[in-house]
Amino acid sequence: MLKARGVLATALAAGIALSACAGTGGEAVSEVSPGLSADVAPERRTPLPVPRSLTLNAVGNLLDWNRTPPGVNPDTCKPAPGQRPVLMVHGTFANMMLAFSALGPALHNAGICAYAYNYGGHAADSWVHGLVSMEESAKRLAHEVERVRRITGADKVNLVGHSQGGTLIHYYAKVLGGADKVDVMVAVAPSLRGTERVSGKGEYTYCVACGQQSPDSAVIRRLNDGPISQPGNRNYVIATSVDWVVRPVEKQFIREPGVTNVLLQDLYPWRWATHSGLLYDSDAVGMMVKWLGGSVESTAGLGKAAKAAGLGGPGTAESQVSQPPGGDVATADKKPL
């Protein structure tokens, strides 16, 4: 337990811990956010506060570490016309509360059916998750997609994944053949091509997924064998130059036709948002909500970029970051890392 808590402290700062410890695998289950009623029309939902600090949110929830983020996991929810339910996938050494306590309420406030779950922990009540093999976690994701489709009656879902989660959503769509059940995919600081922080050598028995995020792992090689983006999916990637976890940063982007790649500092040069802090940056969260189906009005207060992202036209954030068909935008090496 002391070792796990020590690892947790590292994860809070970096968003992922890339170390080897001894242990075995298991899965945690998702739960319903207490008191959430999705039968209330979106326009009548009581707005929820959206945290803007990863550290304050983590410290404030230490005694209730495995709770569900507010506004997430309604037992019934009917997507509004033109919207799809959103399933959020956290990263390594994380959980849904740590990862989505900002995005979850923001989606709720936008009237979007939002779901999340903990996966890959060594026990249901583990402090941290995302540790078991990525193949196993991708299969769990497939199960969760079916759960959300069943609850909401939707034919397709939108997916958002952070770090390892960003890789898992694409592995699910491409390798497991789930692309036809997904519309929008938002990858936040994803380890799509691994990270140079992991050598791939040594034993990763406690965190199998850590070793699998080395650039030459079988999982990463399989995902990158041919195009990552699949037909019928709308893909977005958002990254930050202040990322010491998934490096080099430019490897996070999908340089393929029709993909929107955003480096936060291309829009806000002095913005300090780390690998996990990106999940609490108001402008980043605003862009995610817009991409995932939220209206311009629903993102008010989440940051200036929220009103522009996805609209296109001169002078908007979308026109600055999206240049299809090449998908070759937001070059990370233009900014100091």
Alpha carbons 160 and 101: distance in angstroms, whole number: 14
The three-class DSSP label of residue 93 is: coil
The DSSP bridge partners found for residue 186 are 160, 236
Nearest-CA neighbor of 94 among 162, 181, 40?
A: 162
Residue type, 201: K
Local confidence band at 175 (pLDDT 50, 70, 90 cut-offs): very high
Taking 70 as the threshold, does the pLDDT of residue 54 lie above it? Answer: no
Question: CA 332 to CA 121: how far, in whole Å?
Answer: 32
Question: pTM for this one?
Answer: 0.79
Q: Using the structure block, give the residue that is written with the tokens 């959503």.
A: 169
Identify the pLDDT of residue 60.
55
d(CA 155, CA 105): 24
Structure tokens at 144: 């969760």
Q: Which of 27-31, 262-266, 270-274 has the lowest average pLDDT? A: 27-31
Mapped onto helix, strand or coil, the DSSP state of residue 294 is coil
* CA–CA dist 219, 225 (Å, integer): 10
Average pLDDT, the chain: 79
Q: Does the pLDDT of residue 328 top 90, yes or no?
A: no
Q: What is the mean pLDDT of residues 4-28?
A: 38
- Please tell me whether residue 158 adopts helix, strand or coil conformation: strand
What is the tens place of the pLDDT at every residue in 278-312?
999 999 999 999 999 875 444 445 555 444 443 22
Closest CA to 268 of 296, 240, 295: 240
| Tokens at 203, concatenated | 């034993």
Three-state SS at 12: helix
Q: What is the pLDDT of residue 59?
A: 55
Of 206 and 11, the one with more pLDDT? 206
Report whether 252 contacts 238 (CB < 8 A): no
65 close to 127: Cβ distance less than 8 angstroms: yes
Cα–Cα distance between 288 and 103 in angstroms, integer? 8
Strand order from edge to edge, sheet including 86-89: 114-116, 86-89, 157-162, 182-188, 234-239, 260-263
SS3 (DSSP) at 262: strand
User: pLDDT (tens digit, 9 = 90+) per residue, 92-104?
Assistant: 999 999 999 999 9
Between 59 and 77, name the one with better pLDDT: 77
